[in-house]
Homo-oligomer: A and B are copies of this chain.
Amino acid sequence: METKQTDIKLKNPVRCIVKLGGAAITCKNDFEKINEGNLVTVSSQLRETMMSGSSSGSVLEMDWSKRPGISEPSVTVDAFKDQQVLDYNSFVVIHGAGSFGHFQASKSGVHKGGLNQPLVKAGFVATRISVTSLNLEIVRALAREGIPSVAMSPFSCGWSTRERNIASADVATVVDALDSGFVPVLHGDAVLDESLGCTILSGDLIISHLASHLKPQFVVFLTDVFGVYDRPPSEPNAILLREIAVREDGSWFVVKPTFDKKVEISVASHDTTGGMVTKISEAAMIAKLGIDVYIVKAATEHSLMALSGKLRDKIPEDWLGTVIRYVS
């Protein structure tokens, strides 16, 4: 695997890599529609947990672009004049596609490769337009909360794959952005694949790769259910898996609650990048590095708790979510 910089030295350690699940921030069954309510709450929780410890006052908006119905920029430059430099925890944000990109990718079969076919090539372009338009809206939502977010689209950053595994990743540019005090915002993307021509690089694979290089203190997956269940969460008797332990060899078992039977895993059929099985496997890879992974419902008190990092000390009894941890 090739990265531009093998020996990574960060000015400040990365506190958290957070995944905004496509299902949590978009309306799943509504083509290219953002779940505005969730996105605003998620952005606000990210601000609160990033800025914790700093004596920040008002929110200083960093999105000065035109808003619907308003023709002039609304920024008050004077508000920044007396502002102290804020100390904040280093975060990296990665988001999924949800109702953006999946239609374009599945109609054209971008994940299967074959850029010499006009349909695949068009689908590649169309997929990137869709996911980058979602990326822009997420960067804007974060910036409106005063988070210094910068878009880093994997394809254009030179991320590529070989047989769908990451072959090249530009971690150095992510590090430069972090060292300059920015919050990089990456996303699942259509990328070039050395053997297939092209494919879809999922947000989960990106997280796994960045986690192994940036060594964050913890990783949070924000999703649209309370965590990982023993069967599809829509089923009446679905049980939330509260704690999963990962062994040295990457295999995993449920610690809490205790079961006798085999665990079924929910896989949404429309998810071209794999569903919960991929998620647990990827999470297990991260946990193996000694990094706690929390899978939690977005825009709840439970996600706020996970993002705060307090779960590293103690998991409260009333906390709802799935913790995935390494056991030696």
Interface residues of A (CB under 8 A from B): 4, 31-32, 60-66, 71-73, 75, 77, 80-81, 83-86, 103-104, 107-108, 115-119, 121-126, 128-130, 132-133, 136, 139-140, 143, 146, 148-153, 155-158, 160, 170, 172-173, 176-177, 180-182, 192, 197-198
Contact = CB atoms under 8 A, between A and B. Distances in A.
22 contacts: A4-B4, A31-B66, A64-B123, A64-B126, A65-B104, A73-B103, A73-B104, A75-B107, A77-B107, A83-B118, A84-B118, A121-B148, A122-B148, A124-B150, A128-B150, A128-B151, A129-B136, A132-B136, A156-B157, A158-B170, A158-B172, A177-B192
Given A72-B31, A158-B176, A129 B139 contact: yes
B197 A173 contact: no
A158 to B, nearest CB: 4
Given A64-B123, A129-B136, A136-B136, 15 more contacts: A62-B121, A63-B125, A64-B130, A73-B104, A83-B119, A121-B181, A128-B139, A128-B150, A129-B139, A129-B143, A132-B136, A151-B156, A153-B156, A156-B157, A177-B192
Contact of A151 (B143, B153, B177, B180): B153
A61 B121 CA distance: 11
A150 to B, nearest CB: 6
